[in-house]
Amino acid sequence: MAYPKAVVFDLLTALLDSWSLWDASAGDKRLGRRWRARYLELTYGCGAYQPYEELVAKAAREAGLPSAAPAALHADWDSLAAWPEVPGVLSGLRARGLGLGVVTNCSIELGRRAAARCGVPFDVVVTAEEVGFYKPRPEPYRAVLAALDVDARDALFVAGSSADVPGATAVGMTVVWHNRIGLPPRPGPAPKRDAATLDAALDGLV
């Protein structure tokens, strides 16, 4: 692809270290990863939006965690931290005039609060709640493209989860995967790049 006009990001993994928050809320890294994995499977499978908080709580129950875990996650939401390179990368993209968008499997309120933790304002923040569907359904990706007023071929998508790769590819975006914690790929198309840091994922493409 030619250099994009906009870069669209997954939020809670590609830009923010939400894994550490889930682990801390669970009280144990092993339990946190199990809880998060179950939550991701629920969102990938449900399609039409169900309240984010309900899915988080359901995943906790099914992973064998107490109700205190999702309560702690919500209470500490504003402690979400961006990966170290994120503010500099976003500032650089902003300075070069690229549109910046986020599409996240989250509620409107929590999505806006999480996006603010990145330190650089986005042109568009689209949540599953307002669209009515969870990724990797096409509706959230199409909604962020429409809000940015760019064609899919003119946008680069930065995936945070493996399901984002086929999801964003299916609507016509070129996809790179900021695979910070080394998640296994899902069946389907491969990303243009799979990298452990955000700057490495974007190097030479923007």
- Residue 177 is predicted with a pLDDT of 98
Give the CA distances from residue 198 to residues 45, 102, 108, 142, 193, in Å, rounded to whole numbers and listed in that order: 27, 15, 25, 23, 11
Helix ranges restricted to H, the chain: 18-26, 29-46, 52-62, 68-75, 86-95, 108-116, 128-131, 138-148, 164-170, 198-202
User: Measuring CA to CA, which residue among 61, 73, 62 is closest to residue 26?
Assistant: 73
Rounded to whole angstroms, how far apart are CA atoms 114 and 189? 29
- Residue 186 is predicted with a pLDDT of 87
What are the tens digits of pLDDT across the range 13-35? 999 999 999 999 999 999 999 99
- Residue 47 is predicted with a pLDDT of 78
Largest separation between any pair of C-alpha atoms in the chain: 49
What are the tens digits of pLDDT across the range 48-57? 899 999 999 9
What average pLDDT does this structure show over 35-41? 93
What average pLDDT does this structure show over 155-179? 97
Tokens 């809320």 locate to 25
Q: What share of the chain is helix, strand, coil (3-state, %, to 5)?
A: 50, 15, 35
What are the tens digits of pLDDT across the range 165-175? 999 999 999 99
Rounded to whole angstroms, how far apart are CA atoms 184 and 10? 17
Cis peptide before 136 (omega within 30 of 0): yes
- The model carries a pTM of 0.95
Q: Domain 6-17+80-202: which CATH class?
A: alpha beta
pLDDT > 70: percent of the chain = 100
Residue range(s) occupied by CATH 3.40.50.1000 in the chain: 6-17+80-202
Residue 109's contacts (CB-CB under 8 Å, 6 or more residues apart) are none
Query: Tokens standing for 151?
Result: 């064609």
What are the tens digits of pLDDT across the range 85-139? 999 999 999 999 999 999 999 999 999 999 999 999 999 999 999 999 999 999 9
**Residue type at 54?**
E
Rounded to whole angstroms, how far apart are CA atoms 31 and 66? 11
Q: Give residue 2's pLDDT band: very low, low, confident or very high (50, 70, 90).
A: confident
- Residue 1 is predicted with a pLDDT of 60
Using DSSP bridges, classify how beta strands 99-104 and 174-178 pair: parallel, antiparallel or unpaired. unpaired
